[in-house]
Each structure stands twice: as structure tokens, then as C-alpha cells.
Amino acid sequence: MIMTDITLTIDGKQVAVPKGTSILQAAITAGITIPHYCWHPGLKAVGNCRMCLVQVEKWPKPVASCVQPVSEGMVVKTSTDEITKIRKSVMEFLLINHPLDCPTCDQAGECRLQDYYMNYDEVPSRFAEEKVSKNKMIDLGANVMLDQERCIACTRCIRVCQEVAGVDELTLANRGDHTMITTFPGKKLSNPYAGNTIDVCPVGALTNKDFRFKKRVWFLERTPSVCPGCSRGCNIEIHHEELKVYRLLPRYNPEVNNYWICDEGRYGYKFINEDRILRPRILEKNISHLVSSDEAVDRLAGLMKGGALDEIGVVANAQETNETLQALADFAKTVLKTRHLYFSRREVENPVSDNFLMTADKNPNQAFVDKLGFRPLSTLKEVRGLLVLNSLSPADMKKVIEKKVPILGIWASNENPAAHSSAVVFPIPTYAEQEGHFTNVRGLTQKITAAYPPRGEARLVSETLEELTERLQTNARSYTQNSYPLSPHL
């Protein structure tokens, strides 16, 4: 269907937009910012905060630009003296009972009240009376805390539950200056997309239990990436400082996840910070020894040369990037010349899925694993050893133990049972520390970027595979054990 364009003028700029567009959206198209609290591009417009009022030439009174559709020849002014005065009054009204506890508020630094106060108010309060006090620490559910005093009743959180999660879990109660956001009696905010209420709240009323008081937001760097939590591949921002991730936020992509992510993905970042393998090691007589990368490569090459290379199997993993998987497949086909190409993957009990974002496959890259021709490890044939990427699922680990197949080498970012029993262990970066791509369930290939350099002595799989190829094609160098004995289970 061809949409007719409407031409209008906003602050002297001509702009053409499809019929039905609101003035606020037309202004965004023209590069003009109209302040707003209750409007969100991913939610239905309700026009309740009154911050986005604008003047339309020949119209008797200002209109809410988020709900007013454009019309042909309309002339809009967004920042006249009258409009500035209205915004100042809206700000004063919103701040009358506001607690102004910015120093301890997690939203400080990304708060619309703070921003618009600087733009439109910037005068001391005239309110001499006692402020209405409300509850400040209400546990709304697994992940969200509510401070009722900070709420400006924009209703974004109610609408995100209704329109995105499809549930009625939040509502406004009471009237006037006693209006407050609340759950229904005896109920919790428990939908699997509840974390999005925190993102859309323009102030510090809804805060993230996981992130509360951990970091001032202005210290955080943002890196675009893709969630590895399931095969949807939702677009995310990694918020980090130095070598630590503090939170994941959704990144807009209309083809994949729009403005949203599920809570499973949002809180699935802990493994990046915890339980990491930071140095190469070898297992000797059930004792782990930390070694240099060179020594680890030498040791693995030595073990592999103990028999025919094509009797060694490789195990890919659907958690790794296209580049890593391709490097392993190339190595298996051209260096080992093996037919034993398997894969393992993250398996969870009773995986949650829906017809919105969450898929039952909790791996970001099964599509690429399949494309390269890796087969499930459950079909494991006779091999004299395995090279493993990342980890093995419990069922695959059981299979390997039953068949008494030794794990000769593993490339892993985190401690796991397969790493504990591998003869040689190479630390690798997580998805947050490398460039690459994931191919999602719909065949869409998306880029991930490195938030910071690999931790410890982690290196890309392709780098050690190149060195291993060299060693396998020349005489093995003599191996000297380094003197760092450790307990067998790190």
C-alpha cells in the first residue's frame, strides 16, 4: 500500500512524512527534538505528560504533539515563549512532590527529569509545604524495585507490560498527588519481559535490582552486540567499565527485537565476569599446571601426533562465532582431514519459549553450526581423542565418558566439566571480548563487537589453531613443564 506523504513545516523546516504520523515523529524526522516523558517509539501514544505540547499556526491552543497527527500545510512551532512557559510549569508540577534524591538514585545521569530541569526549569522550588511521601523500596518482583515517590505517572511501564509482554501486571492507583504505580493485590511483576519496564521508565522510579548501587552510569561504556541467550539474536548494548560488564540493555533493531529483550537474556551476562579460565594449562597425572600458550600448543601437538590425525574428532559449539566455527571446520577438514565433525550446545531443562522473542534453542549460532555440517555429538563414532570448543552439554559429557574418549584439547572461556578433564586447556574470549558474527534462527547474520580486550591470556581459537597447524606440520618441539602446580579442579 502506498502511503500519501503529508508536507508540513516545523520550526521553519519543511518535512514530508506519511499520513498518520504524529507531529512529534515528524519532528524527529526533521531532526528537531520535542521533549517528552510518556511517549515512547515502541508504545502506543497516550498524551498524558503534557511535556510535548507545541503550537500549530491558526490553532487556538497548544496540542500534545505525540498524539496529534500531521495535516497538509500545517505550520508547527515547538519552542515559542508560550511553549517554554508551559514546559516550565509541567516541570514545576512534576517536581512539587519529587524527593530529589539524585545522589543515591540509579537513574542519575540518564534521567529525563534532570535533563529537562536543566533545559526548561532551572529555578529553585517555590513549594514551601511538606511533600507527599510514598513508599520508596517496593519489591515488585524478581528483578524490579519501585520507588513510588520518584514516579511521574507517565504509564510507560503499564503499557510495556500490556503491549510487549501481553499482561496486565501494573496499574495506577489512587488520584491526584497520591497517584501511584502498583501491582494488583497479592500479585508480582513476573512476566519474562519485566526488565523492559526499567528501561522505559524515564526517571528512577523503577530500578534494576541487579544493577542498583553498583555503578554510576556515567562511568559506563557502551558496546553494541548481540545476545547469545537464544537463537533469536536480540540486539543489545553491553554496558561495561574496564574489564567488567555491569548490565545489558536492548538495542533497537526492527528486524529482530524492536526495542526489547527478555529477562533471561538481560541477566544472562554473569558468566562474562565470573569463573573465567585466564591462563593455558595442561593436565598431568590428574594435576593441572599453568603453562605458557606456546607450551600448551606444543603439548597438544605432541598428543595429537601420537596416532593418525584423521582419527581425532572435533566438537564445535553453537555458543561460538561464525569465525571461530569456520576456523575449526577448516582445521578439521584441511589439517586433520577427519570426518569426525561434531557439535555440542547449551541445553537447559524446560527451556522457555514464546511466539515473541524467546526461542527454545538457547544458543545464538546453531544455524551456522548446521551450515558447516557438524553433527550432534550423540552420533559419536570411534575416535582416539577429541578437540572441543567451549564445553559439552551434560548428555554429551556422559557420552564421552562412557565411550572413554579422551579430551585432548579444549578452547574455553569459563570453567566447565569438559575443561576439567581436558589434557590441554586454552583460554578464549567470551562473545563480549571479540569481534565476529552470529547467524540467528532466521538466517540473519549479525555483528558482535569487542567491549574490551580478552581477559588474562585468552586468545582467539583461530590463533592457536594456526600455531597448532604449524607444529603438526613440523617436528614437535621438546616440551618443558612449567612449575606452577595447581589442584586438579580449578
The reply on whether position 100 binds ligand SF4 by CB under 6 A is yes
Which one, of 303, 310, 325, lies nearest residue 428 by Cα? Answer: 325
* Contacts with ligand SF4, 115-154, as mask; x by CB under 6 A: -----------------------------------xxxxx
| Contact positions with ligand SF4 (CB under 6 A) in 259-318 | none
Q: Are strands 341-344 and 375-376 parallel, antiparallel or unpaired?
A: parallel
> Which residues have C-beta within 8 Å of that of residue 251, sequence separation ≥ 6?
224, 225, 235, 236, 237
Beta bridge partners of 138: 146
> Which lies closer to ligand SF4 via its Cβ, residue 64 or residue 460?
64
- Asked if 195 and 208 touch (Cβ cutoff 8 Å), the reply is yes
Interface with ligand SF4 (CB under 6 A), residue from 6, 27, 43, 181: 181
> Which lies closer to ligand SF4 via its Cβ, residue 116 or residue 269?
116
Q: How far is CA 269 from CA 4, 229, 234, 264, 292, in A?
A: 45, 9, 14, 9, 28
> Which lies closer to ligand SF4 via its Cβ, residue 153 or residue 309?
153
Q: Minimum distance between the CB of residue 22 and ligand SF4, rounded to whole angstroms?
A: 19
The residue ranges of DSSP E strands in 197-308, in sequence order, are 206-208, 221-226, 235-241, 244-250, 281-284, 287-290
- Asked if 70 and 24 touch (Cβ cutoff 8 Å), the reply is no
> Which lies closer to ligand SF4 via its Cβ, residue 150 or residue 276?
150
Interface with ligand SF4 (CB under 6 A), residue from 36, 40, 156, 346: 156
Output the residue with the shortest Cβ distance to ligand SF4: 105
Residues recorded for the chain: 490
Q: Minimum distance between the CB of residue 340 and ligand SF4, rounded to whole angstroms?
A: 54
CA distance from start to end of the chain: 62
3-state secondary structure 174-198: CCHHHCEEEECCCCCCCCCCCHHHH
User: Dihedrals φ, ψ of 77, to 5°?
Assistant: -125, 125
Interface with ligand SF4 (CB under 6 A), residue from 82, 101, 168, 354: 101
> Which lies closer to ligand SF4 via its Cβ, residue 108 or residue 372?
108
The reply on whether position 102 binds ligand SF4 by CB under 6 A is yes
Q: Minimum distance between the CB of residue 175 and ligand SF4, rounded to whole angstroms?
A: 15
Q: Minimum distance between the CB of residue 150 and ligand SF4, rounded to whole angstroms?
A: 4
| Contact positions with ligand SF4 (CB under 6 A) in 196-215 | 200-201, 203-206
Q: How far is CA 118 from CA 34, 94, 225, in A?
A: 15, 14, 32
> Which lies closer to ligand SF4 via its Cβ, residue 151 or residue 357?
151
Stretch that binds ligand SF4, among 102-110, 210-218, 246-254, 460-468 (CB under 6 A): 102-110
Q: Can you tell me the distance from the alpha carbon of 204 to that of 260, in angstroms, rounded to the nearest whole number?
A: 19
Interface with ligand SF4 (CB under 6 A), residue from 10, 70, 105, 300: 105
> Which lies closer to ligand SF4 via its Cβ, residue 27 or residue 205?
205
Which one, of 270, 281, 321, 333, lies nearest residue 439 by Cα? Answer: 321
Torsion sign over Cα 37, 39, 40, 43: positive
Neighbour-count burial for 15-37, b at 16+ CB within 10 Å, e otherwise: bebeeebbbbbbbbebebebbbb
Total interface residues for ligand SF4 by CB under 6 A: 25
Q: Minimum distance between the CB of residue 212 and ligand SF4, rounded to whole angstroms?
A: 12
Stretch that binds ligand SF4, among 81-89, 107-115, 352-360, 465-473 (CB under 6 A): 107-115
Q: Minimum distance between the CB of residue 47 and ligand SF4, rounded to whole angstroms?
A: 14
Q: Which residues bind ligand SF4 (CB under 6 A)?
A: 98, 100-102, 105, 107-108, 111, 113-114, 150-157, 181, 200-201, 203-206
